[in-house]
Every structure is written in C-alpha cells, then in structure tokens.
C-alpha cells in the first residue's frame, strides 16, 4: 500500500510517499517540499502547491493520503495561511480520487513515537529508524510529511484489525 503524507503550509508544503510492504515493513518512495515565494500573490502560491501536489499524485499514484490537521496557533495569520495550504492539499487529493485522512500533530507523534508529546527530534529520529534511512530526512517539513504517512499506515493497520474483530462471530 502506497500512501502520501502531507505537512501543509503556504511557504513550504512537505510531502512524503511511504509504501507498506507485505511483511509490514515500511519503505520510503519519495519525499520533499513544494516551496512558494512570499513575494508571490497568495492565489498564485496556492495554485503552485496544487499543481505540485497534483503532479506528484499522478507520478506515484498512492492508494490513500493523509494531511496534518491544523492545531491552534497563537498567530492567527499563520493559522489562516496553514489552513489555506491544507485546503489545497485536500482538494488535490479529492481531485485525484484519493481518500484523505486527517491527523493532529498529537496523533502523529503517538503513532510514530508512542508518545503524543514527543519532541520534534524524537519524531524525526523514529521516522529515520522506521524507514531505515541513513539520515533524518531534510527539510523538517518533508520529515513531518513522512511521519504523517507513517501515522496513516499504522492507523489503517489498527482499523483493519479492529474491523476484523467486529466481523468475527
């Protein structure tokens, strides 16, 4: 199962494609960031994010996707900006016919590290270890997107186990 994780933003949108192998191991397929310039008008920036994500979705054809949920921020302008990036990411997934899940940062940390209040460095190290990478993925937004993808895979695995228990007599 190939999954895309997205860490949304308008300046930098991180993406990460992770494949779950038949034996349950995880493999990184691709990761990176889509960067837009602060000097560019917001509608154009959102369009650049949409086009970039759409091209990646066509290239890799994931079966599902996950986007990090917006959590409360003190800076309202930042929250609005991240919200716009989230909307574009969700739209790109919907337009590609890909089901999208959403996870809070706490849920991502819990799924990847086992502790919802884990530090960013702990999450990044677990991403490196789970994907058997030599180094922590850079930039941070790409590592965060890979963590979202891992969270989605782990959550799907737990959901399928739970649903299997419900179906048994």
Using DSSP's 3-state secondary structure scheme, residue 127 falls into helix
Element (H, E) at 133: none
Q: Which of 20, 48, 107, 141 is catalytic?
A: 141
Strand-pairing partners, residue 7, are: 14
| Residue 134 tokens, joined | 């030599």
150, 127 contact by CB (below 8 A): yes
Q: Which of 47, 52, 5, 8 is nearest to 30 (CA)?
A: 5
**Three-state helix/strand/coil letters over 143-154:** HHHHHHHHHHHH
Does the annotation mark 23 as catalytic?
Answer: no
| Residue 32 tokens, joined | 């990176």
Q: Which of 20, 68, 107, 144 is catalytic?
A: 68
Does the annotation mark 30 as catalytic?
Answer: no
Does the annotation mark 7 as catalytic?
Answer: yes
Q: Which of 7, 20, 48, 107 is catalytic?
A: 7
**What is the set of active-site residues?**
7, 68, 141
């Amino acid at each position: 199962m190939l999954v895309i994780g997205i860490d949304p933003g308008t300046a930098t949108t991180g993406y990460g494609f992770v494949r779950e192998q038949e034996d349950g191991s995880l493999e990184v397929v691709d990761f990176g960031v889509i960067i837009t310039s602060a000097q560019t008008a917001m509608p154009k920036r959102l369009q650049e994010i949409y086009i970039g994500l759409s091209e990646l979705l066509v290239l890799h054809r994931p079966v599902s996707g996950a986007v990090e949920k917006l959590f409360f921020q003190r800076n309202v302008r930042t929250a609005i900006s991240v919200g716009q990036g989230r909307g574009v990411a969700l739209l790109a997934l919907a337009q590609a016919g890909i089901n999208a899940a959403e996870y809070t940062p706490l849920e991502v940390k819990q799924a990847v590290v086992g502790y919802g209040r884990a530090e960013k460095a702990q999450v990044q190290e677990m991403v490196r270890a789970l994907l058997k990478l030599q180094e922590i993925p850079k930039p941070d937004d790409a590592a965060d997107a890979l963590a979202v993808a891992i969270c989605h895979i782990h959550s799907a695995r737990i959901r399928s186990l739970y649903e299997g228990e419900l179906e048994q007599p």
